[in-house]
Amino acid sequence: MKIAVIGDKLVKQEIYEEVLRQHLDFVPDLKIEGFPVEWPDIPLQNGPEVKEFVGSEDEIIALIKDAEIFLTNVAPVTEKILRAALKLKIIGCSRGGPVNINIAAATRRGIPVFYTPGRNAPVVAEFTIGMILAEILNIARAHAALIKGTWRGDFYIYEKTGFELEGKIAGVIGLGAVGQRVARLLKSFNMKVLAFDPHVNDEVFSKCGVERVPLERLLKEADIVTLHARLTPETTKMINGTTLALMKPTAYFINTARGGLVDYPALYQVLKAKRIAGAALDVFEEEPLPDNSLLFSLDNVTITPHIGGASRETAFRSADILVAEIKKYLLGQPVQYCQNSEVLQSAIEAS
C-alpha cells in the first residue's frame, strides 16, 4: 500500500510517518512517500475550489497519482488532482475543518475525507486566556514599549489599569471543543460565564457550569466577549456594528476563531471611538494583515499572527487522530470524523 504524505513545518513529514507506522503496523508492504511544503513561512492561499492551502497541483499529482491514501495538513486537493489520482481510496486532512479539500469532488468519486476536529482545542483555549490577560492587563503594550526603551510606569495610573477577572462576567460565543475549554478556564478565575450556542444541547452547558443565554444578553452583560463559533454562511460577520453596539464601554472583545466571523471595519471604528475598552485578535479577514491595516494605529488592541493553534502537542495530536480514524476504517470499524460520511453509508449499502 502506498501512502502519499505532504507535511509542513508544524505537522512535519516525520511526524506523519512515525504515527502511520505505529498505527498501521498490520498493513503489509507499507510504502510512505512525500515531501513538505513551506507553510507557515509561505502564507495560506485561497482559490476557486478550496481555501487555506499551500502547494502546487502538478507536484501533488506527481506524488499521489498511484497512491491509495493521501494525508496532508494544508496541501490542496482539487478536482484536477482527484482526476489524476486513479487509485486513491482515502483522503486525510489533519485539520478541524478540511477547507483545503474539494469535498464534493471527493464524494462524487466515493473517497472518504477524514479530518481532526478538536486537535488544537487545548492550546487555542490556553492561548485565548493568554490573549485576554495580555490585553486587559497591558502586558503586550508594556512589553512592546520596554523593548523600544520606554518604561511604561504610567500603566499604574488608575485610569490606565485593567481589571481583575475574578467576579466579572465572561461571555463565550460558541461552545464547541475550544469554547468548552475556555469556559472552564474562565470559571477557574471565579468568573460568571454566560454562553451562546444554538447548536449545543443543555447537557454541555451544564457540564461546563455555564448559563445558556441569548446572544443579545451575553453581549450586553459580559465584561469579556470571546468568540469560538465555526465560520458558516450564517455566522459570517456575526460580530458587526449592530452587535458590537450592545457591548459595555468597559468590555473587551476576543477573537481566536476565524476572521470571517467579524466585520473588521466596524470593529476598528468601535475601538477607535473607545466604545469598547479593547480587543485581542489572532485572526483576520485578510491574512497576513496588510502593512497599511488600520488596526496597527490603535492603542487598545493586542494582535497576533494567527498562531493560536500552534503547539508541539497539536502537531502530534493532529496526525494521531487522523491515522487512528483511517485505521478504524481499514479494519471495518465505525469511524467518527469523516467529513462526507454519506460515502461510508453508500459503501455499506453496496456491500
Which residues have a catalytic role annotated?
258, 287, 306
Report which DSSP code applies to 306.
Answer: S
Report which DSSP code applies to 239.
Answer: B
Residues 6 or more apart whose CB falls under 8 angstroms from that of 55 comprise: 6, 37, 72, 74, 75, 76
What ranges make up the beta strands (E) of the chain?
Answer: 2-7, 31-36, 69-72, 90-93, 113-114, 169-173, 192-196, 211-212, 224-227, 252-255, 278-281, 301-303
Angstrom distance (rounded) from CA 218 to CA 240? 15
Main-chain dihedrals φ then ψ at residue 29, nearest 5 degrees: 55, 50
Cell numbers for 87, please give them: 487509485
